[in-house]
Amino acid sequence: MKLSDQSKWLCMLMLVIIVASMCATDQRQVESDFMALPASKPMKEASLAYTSKHVAAAVMKVEEGHSAAVASSERVEPIQKEEPIPDDKEAGEIPIHEMSERTLSGKFDSVEVIATGYSANYESTGKTPDHPQYGITYSGLKVQRDKDALSTIAADPDIFPLGTVLWIPGYGYGIVADIGSAIKGNRIDLYYPSAEDVYAEWGKKKLHVYVIQYGEGKVTEEMFKEVSSAFAPKH
């Protein structure tokens, strides 16, 4: 039986479709098998080259970051010159009584004391004006009060020897010329002309005093005048 030309062409078309389908299936199988196989040497080398390139780049970035961090940590910042804190003039240029407590503390010994006031009257000394030693200190110097220059004060000679000159804020300069049975340790007694002055101007205070100079265990009239003239206001 002879096939028509149309039937021949139809058979050939179907054969081509079947063969094409079989080839496609084989190709997919080959690709699948190829992917399952170990990479060939050229492919491995290419893969390693690619990986090495990226690793090197990553390492370079890490090293650059580390170098920057090290450089930052090792960078020496310029030392800023500190501006001097405004302070008093030098001690020789201004009177001590005009200095701030900060300056006084930096130049002289500072001692915390309990300071009381006394007068030459009977309540303070047990002596009346007709007593031969009335108003006479232990050193033999007569009690004196000059708030603009120098006054006599009492202290424990084991802390402040006779002749010691103190700057007492709120009172002025005092020279240790007297002692007292109740004046022991860090206690001082400041002379005032009357009991009324003691109560009105001082009373009892806890404060820091400044040692201008330590005494040598004695004080005379000449010493007192010399020190007093040095502290007296200059007109």
pLDDT in tens, 51-98: 445 545 544 554 555 455 445 545 555 555 554 444 444 445 667 767
Question: What pairing do the DSSP bridges indicate for beta strands 187-191 and 109-118?
Answer: parallel
Neighbours of 105 (CB within 10 A): 13
Looking at the structure of the chain, the number of domains it has is: 1
Identify the residue whose tokens are 């001692």: 111
Whether 50 maps to a domain, the answer reads no
Whether 205 maps to a domain, the answer reads yes
Task: Of 203, 207, 118, 134, give the one whose Cα is nearest residue 166.
Answer: 207
Tokens of 178: 């007297």
Whether 46 maps to a domain, the answer reads no
Whether 186 maps to a domain, the answer reads yes
- Residue 217 is classified by DSSP as S
Whether 154 maps to a domain, the answer reads yes
Give the structural domain span for 106. Answer: 102-231
List the CATH number of the domain containing 179. 2.40.40.10
pLDDT at 129 over 50: yes
Residues 6+ apart with CB under 8 A from 95: 231
| Residue with more model confidence, 57 or 147 | 147
- What single letter denotes the amino acid at residue 78? P
Distance CA 91, CA 114 (A): 26
Whether 35 maps to a domain, the answer reads no
Whether 227 maps to a domain, the answer reads yes
Whether 149 maps to a domain, the answer reads yes
pLDDT in tens, 18-57: 756 665 555 555 455 545 545 444 444 544 444 445 545 5
Question: Is the dihedral angle over the CA atoms 107, 110, 115, 119 positive or is it negative?
Answer: negative
